[in-house]
Copies of this chain bind each other. A is one copy, B any other.
Amino acid sequence: MDKKVNIGVIGLGRLGSLYANYCANRLPMANLVAVSDVREEVAREQADQFGADRWYKDYEDLLKDDEVDAILVVTPTSLHRDVVIHAANAGKAIFCEKPLSLSIDECVEIKDVVAATGAFFQMGVMRRFDSAYTTAKEKIEAGVIGKLVQYKATSRDRERPALEYLRPEHSGGLFVDMGIHDFDIARFLMGDVKSVYSIGDVLAYPEMKEIGDVDNAIVSMVFEDGTLGAVDLSRNGIYGYDIHAEILGTEGTLQLGYIRETPIQVMKENQISHDTVPGFYERFEKAYIDQLANFVENVLHDREPSITVEDGLEALKIALAATQSLHENRPVELSEI
């Protein structure tokens, strides 16, 4: 066969390392050629582990590497703007992990640079490649459940991530860090959002108060077409990593997601039980790979990005409106953001 896409991965945290692995071992049309991380030894080790020829401490050096066709931006969110703008100017195809940024201004700046440079830019939100959501989209478009009426989504971490990770100045807070997936799927399946109202509090992990974020929240949403939505978020899904959703229409409803991990049910004295999905990696492994494969295919065949910079911007708007609603205890229109 012909040409493959040469990939450079920027940022080798938990997710960046997974992506490097997928590029090396799971994507037939991709070559992992370079990695970068500010932690020099991590960059070197992972280059070695995944068979990348080159590693860099400074992502700017990676962007100067002519062998690199396309980059995956998996840095802390605060660096997205800089990396993406550099990469767009360097003519690299760009895959940027969600959230696009923590600031609307930065999103707009990125959008403008992408437009000006004509760079290929695709957002990373893996759920859009999971069969629960892709099949739901097909069924909705085929009219299986009639006219849409309600969107409901639940996201629960199994346990509180590290406080350092959760600080709103880094993560964007619960609505940006966690809710953005549900907001993106809301737009994917239902359409644009008109207004939101949020409630939330520190209910499970008192130490969250120190960092100024809540650990549980519920967001009501009204879509532009008048349909209704509710997204509930929790850091204490202690029983497992629970991601599910429902789309109610006038002719039926679709329930999406699952919680069982292993196909084995244990039946003991007066009790039936089974295990649960432990985390995002186990639940969405295939979707993570499929979204990278989709990015690679799009780059290879000069197709449009499957998820655009505007999608990244719009999802952030919902998350920020939800955050503002919580602080002001009133419904917030998206147009205010």
A217 at the interface (CB under 8 A from B): yes
Residues of B contacting A252 in the complex (Cβ-Cβ under 8 angstroms)? 238-239, 266-269
Q: Please determine whether B331 and A197 come into contact, CB atoms closer than 8 angstroms.
A: yes
- B250 contacts A272, CB within 8 Å? no
A147 at the interface (CB under 8 A from B): yes
Judge if A207 is at the interface, Cβ distance under 8 Å. Answer: no
- Nearest to A202 among chain B residues (CB) is B226
A306 contacts the other chain (CB 8 A):
no
Name the segment of A22-30, A53-61, A72-80 touching the other chain: A22-30
Query: Which of B204, B216, B238, B272 interacts with A239 by CB under 8 Å?
Result: B272
| B204–A149 touching, CB < 8 Å | yes
In angstroms, Cα B263 to Cα A254, docked, is: 10
Residue count of chain A within 8 Å CB distance of chain B: 76
Q: How many copies does the complex hold?
A: 4
- Secondary structure class of chain A's binding surface, majority of residues: mixed
Cβ A1 vs Cβ B150 within 8 A = no
Q: Are B139 and A266 in contact (CB under 8 A)?
A: yes
Residues of A251-304 at the interface with B, using a CB-CB cut-off of 8 Å, are: 251-260, 262-276, 278
* Nearest CB of B to A164, in Å: 22
Known contacts A197-B199, A216-B228, A250 near B263 by CB under 8 Å: no
Provided the pairs A217-B228, A263-B131, A263-B258 are in contact, do residues A234 and B149 lie with their beta carbons within 8 angstroms?
yes
Q: How far is the CA of A19 from the CA of B217 in the complex (A)?
A: 41
Q: A51-B1, A199-B197, A238-B251 are in contact. Are A275 and B271 (CB under 8 A)?
A: yes
Are B248 and A234 in contact (CB-based, < 8 A)?
yes
CB<8 Å pairs between A and B, sample of 14:
A25-B25, A139-B266, A144-B266, A149-B204, A149-B234, A150-B216, A203-B250, A204-B250, A218-B230, A239-B268, A239-B271, A254-B265, A267-B276, A273-B274
